[in-house]
Structure 1
Amino acid sequence: MKEVTKTLITSDIERRLLLPENCLKNFPRGRETFLKIRDEDGIVWTFRCRIPPGKHSKPALYGEYWSIFVRKKGLKAGDIIVIVFNNVVAPAAGPGGDHFEIKVKKTSPETRN
């Protein structure tokens, strides 16, 4: 199991969540894919994900469902997202968020940017 922790900035809230380079190193570059990610409430979200071509490219989660997730969770700049990459193999019926989990750590208003 591997996890990525990211303190959200304004562009993560308003446009897309940029993740660290190589955290999705086995995903195809230059194409859009969809990631099913289970949240703490057991809801599976399907986010668009694109890893630009090139050696040093950061994956981005974006699109309508990312915007809905941000609103539903009440995310603000300064809050922390933790994405856990599980080593679980998805069932033959297809992935249901078994590979990824997303956790939100809200910060107090005093510590937000």
Structure 2
Amino acid sequence: MKEVTKTLITSDLERRLLLPENCLKNFPRGHETFLKIRDEDGIVWTFRCRIPPGNHSKPALYGEWFLFVRQKGLKAGDIIVIVFDKVEAPAPGPGGDHFEIKVKKASPGTRN
């Protein structure tokens, strides 16, 4: 199980969510894929993931990521935790296999 914790910055919210290098090391480089990620409310989001070529490149999430940001009211300073361990959907659950995401809201005094 690979867990990624990230404190969000403005560019994560407005341009793309950059993830740490090699957090998706089993995914092919130089390609784009779609990741199904379930939130704490049980909603499965489909984030577009671009993994640039090269060994020292950071995967980036796009697509429904921006809808997720708006729907959750995310701001700079909030923390997300993505668990990159496939979770099988309960039969006959919708959405198929997916990863998980959790949000930790920053207290108002700690936001940028």
CA contact (8 A) 1:44 1:97 kept: no
Q: Pick the structure with more strand per residue.
A: 2
Q: Secondary structure of the equivalent of 2:55? A: coil
C-alpha deviation, 1:97, in angstroms: 5.9
Matches within 5 A, 1:29-108: 29-63=29-63, 65-88=64-87, 96=95, 98-108=97-107
Aligned mates of 2:78, 2:12 — CA distance in 1: 10
Q: Secondary structure of the equivalent of 2:109? A: helix
Q: Tell me the TM-score normalized by structure 1.
A: 0.89
Aligned to 1:6: 6
| CA shift in 2, pair 1:58/1:43, >3 Å | same
C-alpha RMSD over aligned residues: 2.0
Question: What is the CA deviation profile of residues 16-64 of structure 1, one whole-angstrom value per residue up to 9, with x for unaligned ones?
Answer: 100000000011111110000000000000000001001100000012x
Which runs of 5 or more residues in structure 2 are unaligned?
A: none
Alignment length, in residue pairs? 110
Q: Tell me the TM-score normalized by structure 2.
A: 0.89
Structure 1 stretches of 4+ with a deviation exceeding 4 A read 87-91
Which runs of 5 or more residues in structure 1 are unaligned?
A: none
CA contact (8 A) 2:28 2:51 kept: yes
C-alpha deviation, 1:11, in angstroms: 0.2
Question: What is the CA deviation profile of residues 43-93 of structure 1, one whole-angstrom value per residue up to 9, with x for unaligned ones?
Answer: 000000001001100000012x111100000000000000012254679x9
CA contact (8 A) 1:38 1:98 kept: no
